[in-house]
Amino acid sequence: MRIMVTGGAGFIGANFLNLLVPRHEEHHFINADKLTYAANLSSLAGIADAPNYTFAQLDIADASAVEEAFEEHAPDCVVHFAAESHVDRSIEGPRAFIESNIIGTFNLLESARKRWGKDNGLFHHVSTDEVYGSLGDTGMFVEDTRYDPSSPYSASKAASDHLVRAHHRTFGLPVKITNCSNNYGPLQFPEKLIPVMTLNAAEGKPLPVYGEGLNVRDWLYVTDHCEAIWKVVTEGKVGETYNIGGNNEVRNIDVVKIICKLVAEYQGKDASELESLITYVKDRPGHDMRYAIDASKIERDLGWSPAETFETGFRKTVHWYLDNTEWIDQVRSGEYRNWIEKNYTNRG
Ligand code: NAD
Ligand code: DAU
């Protein structure tokens, strides 16, 4: 297969390519990425020269550029990761989320159906549990939970999911959708909770917890997500949606305390010293309280289950950020500083 992986220079896309390019020499992988602030080609250094890998810079919001990329690279499968992905940025400036996540997905779908016609090719759409909105103390998201997005980010992902399903029902485009919970692991841009807290704890900076820190997220190690996507691409049923989750529900404040413990252990310090850096700051507007995924469909139908536990995955992740200072220094240049200033200054 010729597989176009959009957003392959971002966090999950790069982990996906690093895992699959060496393993599947029979497939050719085309990484189509705009290279926004969230992308980093150095994350792909290990596969950059692989004979079954090509990088192509592409803005999916540009319809004619997408058409040309389909002509040039002739994919028969698209695994669509590319998106603006950070909720706080979608509150600060939603337009890019509409352009990349909605228009960008639409452009890819249109080029795919033009090239493949009916019942040919495969469009795999990588989506999020945030489309389902917020849970109370009980219950879990299943595949037919009603959509109820809260942020411009999740609304844009919900719109893109609807377009993908519409292209299947109306035009017969073969599609599959996965909705996954919070990923953690190496190569995540340090604007998200786990890398922000790990790096701040290591540097003795304040640990900015939104609201009271009682919001709950379900955490999944990134390569477990990538393996699940590959299972669905290769064995899932066309037209189906699969929820992916880690069954690891943790309150944000407890995540931060675990990070303090792991960083303290690494640095030979006392965890209470790092916990004293916890600072409660102004809450995120429209902040979803709790996410929990029921992943029994993918477990039952495709035999997927996560390989990492919360304990093994978190330790590996925290150590990765503390060991890979070169990667960190590189991504924390220019744009990163602007964001940190904008998001956290005067938040309290
Ligand atoms: P990320 O922000 O780390 O990376 C996104 C990548 O997409 C970047 O390389 C960026 O350059 C690229 N991109 C953005 N706009 C583009 C455009 N217009 N054209 C081409 N490329 C563009 O994101 P991530 O965390 O790796 O998330 C990847 C996908 O997985 C997203 O669709 C996201 O909604 C979904 N998802 C993420 C999580 C999570 O916890 N991170 C969980 C579930 C689903
Ligand atoms: O659930 C899947 C989603 O997970 C993905 O679709 C998104 O792309 C991804 O960014 C992630 O969204 P979240 O908003 O859940 O992730 P984030 O890391 O931004 O925040 C996790 C929780 O931690 C959330 O409740 C907000 C809180 N938080 C976050 C940051 C950055 C803080 O308390 N302080 C912070 O500094």
pLDDT of res. 348: 63
Asked whether 86 lines ligand 2 (CB < 6 A), one says yes
| CB distance 125 to 167 below 8 Å | no
Residue 26 CB-density burial (10 A; 0-12 exposed, 13-18 middle, 19+ buried): exposed
Contact 200, 194 (CB under 8 A): no
Place 333 in a pLDDT band, splitting at 50, 70 and 90: confident
Per-residue pLDDT tens for 142-178?
999 999 999 999 999 999 999 999 999 999 999 999 9
Our answer to whether residue 129 is catalytic in this structure is yes
Identify whether 321 is a catalytic site residue.
no
pLDDT tens digit sequence for 172-213: 999 999 999 999 999 999 999 999 999 999 999 999 999 999
Residue 335: pLDDT over 90: no
Q: Which residues contact residue 254 at a Cβ distance below 8 angstroms, ignoring those fewer than 6 apart? A: none
Segment 219-223 shows an average pLDDT of 98
What value does the mean pLDDT of the chain take?
Answer: 97
263 lines ligand 1 (CB under 6 A): no
Is the pTM here over 0.95, yes or no? yes
What domains sit in the chain, N to C, each tagged with a CATH number? Answer: 2-184+221-244 (3.40.50.720)
The finding on whether 112 has its CB within 6 A of some atom of ligand 2 is no
Active site residue 119: no
Distance 238 CA to ligand 1 centre (A): 23
DSSP single-letter state for residue 100: I
Q: Is the beta carbon of 246 within 6 A of some atom in ligand 1?
A: no
- Give the tens place of pLDDT for each residue, 308-331: 998 999 999 999 999 999 999 988
Task: Place 336 in a pLDDT band, splitting at 50, 70 and 90.
Answer: confident
Q: Report the 10 Å Cβ neighbour count for 312.
A: 11
Q: pLDDT (tens digit, 9 = 90+) per residue, 92-137?
A: 999 999 999 999 999 999 999 999 988 899 999 999 999 999 999 9
| Mean pLDDT along residues 302-310 | 96
Distance from the alpha carbon of residue 341 to the mean position of ligand 2, in angstroms: 18
HSE at residue 53, side-chain half, CA atoms within 13 A, is 22
Task: Please report which confidence band the pLDDT of residue 50 belongs to, taking 50, 70 and 90 as the band edges.
Answer: very high
